[in-house]
């Protein structure tokens, strides 16, 4: 039997397989053949993925169906289900939030059902989504309670995509009241920026800010118009305010081919010829703020020597 006929979002429960005439022996055979695999207690998936984030998303899909009407996906699980990036996410536990108004939750080995936030669905509140999650702003705020970077990384693309507004994020943080970690999230509110185009750029801004640098994102460099379609000019990740020092984040997939690497080198050479210093940072650099300060300060010194 084509299991896609009974699977929804690539998951299905045992009772749905049984209703389609697939008994335990047949299900075991399908599992052995690789047609499906056990995902969660009483739930199976047609996916063959081994990616922890994708397996977590599939478990969320199963639990949305299992708890429909009683709970929705919450915290970092909702961030994953909504397709937003995460920071240092843990995939072993799925988070749900009760919708029945109860203030009590419960915990299993790999599942936590949190008490409901009473005001989330109230007048002027932040409603649950049709995807079976808490409002994106609530999910992002809850995900950031342990670390403000876990708030900023999904918040920036959510703003860029129009999933949330700054007002939504502010309201979501207000809902958390005196929860441990809420002050860390509240302090990060003013630093959300839809101009950051990747988690790496969000984290670069976070590190530069804490090192005391004022970095302006997505700056177009004058004098580079002739090298770009539409004469838009080269746009760089960050410019240290009041200087001619550019900071670029280098992601793992930024250079997918030799031609792209050559184009980037040519772009950087042209920018340097205009009197700018370029600092390139990787994720490894961001984990070592002292190293970031060292290379930025060196670039600032070179820039001052050029100017002098």
pLDDT for 23-74, tens place per residue? 999 999 999 999 999 998 899 999 999 999 999 999 999 999 999 989 999 9
Looking at residue 308, its pLDDT comes to 78
- Calculate the alpha carbon distances from 287 to 126, 142, 200, 239 in Å: 35, 23, 11, 21
User: Does the domain formed by 199-307 have CATH 3.40.960.10?
Assistant: yes
CA-CA-CA-CA torsion for 146, 148, 150, 152, nearest 10 degrees? 160
Q: Spell out the domain ranges in the chain.
A: 1-47, 49-191, 199-307
Judging by DSSP bridges, how do beta strands 106-107 and 111-114 pair with one another?
antiparallel
Q: What does the pLDDT average to over 249-261? A: 70
Can you tell me which residue has the tokens 């609530």? 138
SS (H, E, C) the chain: CCHHHCCECCEEEHHHHHHCCCCHHHHHHHHHHCCCEEEECCEEECCCCCCHHHHHHHHHHHHHHHCCCCEEECHHHHHHHCCCCCCCCCCCCEEEEECCCCCCCEECCCEEEECCCCCCCCCCCCCCCCCCECCHHHHHHHHCCCCHHHHHHHHHHHHHHCCCCHHHHHHHHHHCCCCCCHHHHHHHHHHCCCCCCCHHHHHHHHHHHHCCCCEEEEEECCCCHHHCHHHCCCEEEEEECCCCEEEEECCCCCCCCHHHHHHHHHHHHHHHHCCCEEEEECHHHHCCHHHHHHHHHHHHHHHHHHHC
Q: What is the pTM of this model?
A: 0.92
Token pair, residue 280, equals: 């390139």
Q: What does the pLDDT average to over 251-276? A: 81
If one compares 306 and 286, the residue with the highest pLDDT of the two is: 286
| Confidence band, pLDDT 50/70/90 cuts, at residue 101 | low
Q: What does the pLDDT average to over 133-144? A: 97
Cα of first residue to Cα of last residue in the chain, in angstroms, is 76
Token pair, residue 15, equals: 């009772």
Decide if pLDDT at 148 tops 90.
Answer: yes
Q: Out of 75-89, 106-120, 234-248, 281-295, which region has the weakest mean confidence (pLDDT)?
A: 106-120
Q: What does the pLDDT average to over 105-134? A: 79
How far apart CA 116 and CA 290 sit, in angstroms, is 42
| Confidence band, pLDDT 50/70/90 cuts, at residue 227 | very high
Looking at residue 124, its pLDDT comes to 47
Looking at residue 123, its pLDDT comes to 40
Decide if pLDDT at 122 tops 80.
Answer: no
> Judging by beta carbons within 10 Å of its beta carbon (0-12, 13-18, 19+), is residue 265 exposed, middle or buried?
exposed
How far apart CA 76 and CA 28 sit, in angstroms, is 32
Decide if pLDDT at 103 tops 60.
Answer: no
Looking at residue 51, its pLDDT comes to 96
């Amino acid at each position: 039997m084509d299991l896609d006929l009974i699977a929804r979002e690539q998951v299905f429960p045992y009772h749905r397989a049984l209703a389609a005439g697939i008994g335990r022996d047949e299900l075991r055979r399908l599992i052995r053949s690789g047609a499906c695999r056990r995902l969660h207690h009483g739930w199976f998936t047609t996916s063959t993925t081994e990616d922890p984030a994708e397996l977590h998303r599939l478990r969320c899909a199963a639990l949305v169906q299992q708890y429909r009407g009683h709970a929705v996906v919450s915290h970092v699980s909702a961030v994953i289900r909504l397709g937003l990036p995460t920071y240092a996410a843990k995939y072993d536990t799925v988070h749900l939030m009760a919708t029945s108004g109860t203030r009590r939750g419960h915990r299993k080995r790999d599942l936590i059902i949190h008490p409901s936030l009473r005001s989330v669905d109230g007048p002027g509140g932040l409603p649950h989504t049709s995807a079976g999650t808490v409002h994106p702003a609530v999910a992002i705020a809850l995900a950031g309670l342990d670390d403000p970077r876990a708030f900023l990384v999904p918040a920036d693309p959510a703003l860029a995509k129009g999933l949330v507004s700054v007002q939504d994020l502010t309201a979501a943080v207000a809902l958390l009241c005196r929860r441990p970690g809420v002050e860390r999230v509240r302090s990060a509110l003013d630093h959300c920026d839809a101009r950051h185009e990747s988690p790496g750029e969000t984290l670069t801004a976070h590190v530069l800010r804490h090192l005391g640098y004022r970095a302006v994102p997505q700056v177009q460099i004058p004098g580079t118009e002739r090298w770009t379609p539409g004469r838009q000019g080269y746009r760089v990740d960050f410019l240290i305010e009041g200087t001619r020092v550019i900071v670029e984040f280098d992601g793992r997939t930024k250079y997918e081919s030799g031609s792209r690497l050559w184009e980037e080198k040519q772009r950087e050479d042209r920018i340097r010829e205009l009197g700018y210093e370029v600092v390139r940072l990787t994720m490894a650099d961001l984990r070592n703020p002292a190293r970031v300060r060292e290379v930025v300060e060196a670039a600032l010194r070179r820039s001052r020597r050029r100017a002098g």
